[in-house]
């Protein structure tokens, strides 16, 4: 069996697997639907028929959507009991702290290493092999997979020895992006109503007060009211917002902006915008 597997071949998973293939690794791939795996097979990957087969590799990356998908794939399916002894599972999904703790315990019970490694960066960043990787788990395991991280990312941030530490950092990062989108939507609405060109206003902000990809990228979407194709959907944004509220509650901390945003996301989804980029929550601010 191959040396590294990638489970879950959405846009992010395909980019990660593709970079590993191009770097010369023997890459095993699995996806619920066959199409993405077949495409990677044409470029040299090895397609397998089950998650259990993928777990025969020395290193397994999983790039799934949420807690439910992760639990179904490798916690409730029995695959850990059949996994390659001493394998390392690197979970790139943005999952709850509770799921991370459950996964770490389950893997340890079967002698399988477990790392959380969610990432910052959209699909184009993943395709360029320039993701920021938020890693947490046993340092020796991170050392073992670091050569693979160096292929898919520009920097690995080591955030602790408990996997949930990386997941919480990722969740809070996404929470701050949601807060930024909301504040940008409010500011653009006022500027637009006052007769200022929204695109010029965003250019001003990003050239002076707020440089960086979050303000420039989401600001441009909001100014142009262009929310397709979605780099990160409203439905996923609401999921991560709820994870942030849950993480805060676990620490007896309140997130007042988060409570406000929960209603904004709910209304955007009720308005049929679940599949749009989550920047669309700016449309909840009348313009």
- 3-state secondary structure (DSSP) of residue 49: coil
Residue position matching structure tokens 């395909």: 14
Two tokens at 164? 């949930």
Cα separations in angstroms, 258 against 36, 45, 110, 246: 35, 42, 38, 10
**Main-chain phi, psi angles of 115, to 5 degrees:** -125, 140
Q: Can you give the C-alpha Rg of the chain in angstroms?
A: 20
Q: Which residue in 14, 25, 107, 170 is the catalytic one?
A: 170
Which of 247, 213, 230, 208 has its CA nearest to residue 281? Answer: 230
Two tokens at 231? 């780099």
* Residue 125 and residue 106 in contact, taking contact as beta carbons nearer than 8 Å: no
Annotated active-site residue 226? The verdict is: no
Instruction: Please classify residue 18 by burial: count the beta carbons closer than 10 Å to its beta carbon, then call 0-12 exposed, 13-18 middle and 19+ buried.
Output: buried
Catalytic residues: 170
């Amino acid at each position: 069996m191959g040396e590294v597997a990638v489970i879950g071949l959405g846009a992010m998973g395909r980019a990660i697997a593709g970079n590993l293939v191009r770097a010369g690794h023997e890459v095993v791939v699995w996806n619920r639907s066959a199409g993405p795996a077949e495409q990677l097979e044409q470029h040299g990957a090895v397609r397998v028929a089950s998650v259990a087969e993928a777990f025969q590799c020395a290193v397994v990356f999983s790039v799934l959507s949420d807690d439910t998908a992760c639990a179904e794939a490798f916690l409730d399916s029995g695959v850990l009991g059949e996994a390659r002894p001493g394998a390392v599972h690197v979970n790139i999904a943005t999952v709850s702290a509770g799921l991370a703790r459950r996964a770490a315990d389950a893997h340890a019970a079967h002698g399988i290493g477990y790392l959380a490694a969610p990432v910052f960066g959209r699909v184009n960043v993943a395709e360029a092999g320039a993701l920021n990787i938020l890693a947490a788990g046993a340092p020796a395991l991170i050392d073992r997979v670091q050569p693979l991280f160096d292929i898919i990312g520009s920097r690995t941030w080591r955030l602790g020895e408990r996997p949930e530490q990386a997941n919480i950092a990722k969740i809070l990062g996404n929470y701050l992006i949601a807060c930024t989108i909301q504040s940008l939507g409010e500011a653009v609405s006022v500027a637009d109503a006052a007769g200022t060109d929204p695109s010029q206003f965003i250019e001003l902000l990003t050239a002076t007060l707020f440089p960086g990809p979050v303000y420039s990228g989401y600001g441009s979407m909001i100014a142009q009211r262009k929310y397709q194709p979605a780099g990160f959907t409203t439905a996923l944004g609401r999921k991560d917002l709820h994870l942030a509220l849950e993480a805060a509650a676990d620490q007896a901390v309140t997130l007042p902006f988060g409570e406000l945003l929960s209603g904004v996301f709910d209304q955007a989804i009720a308005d049929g915008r679940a599949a749009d980029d989550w920047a669309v929550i700016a449309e909840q601010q009348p313009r």
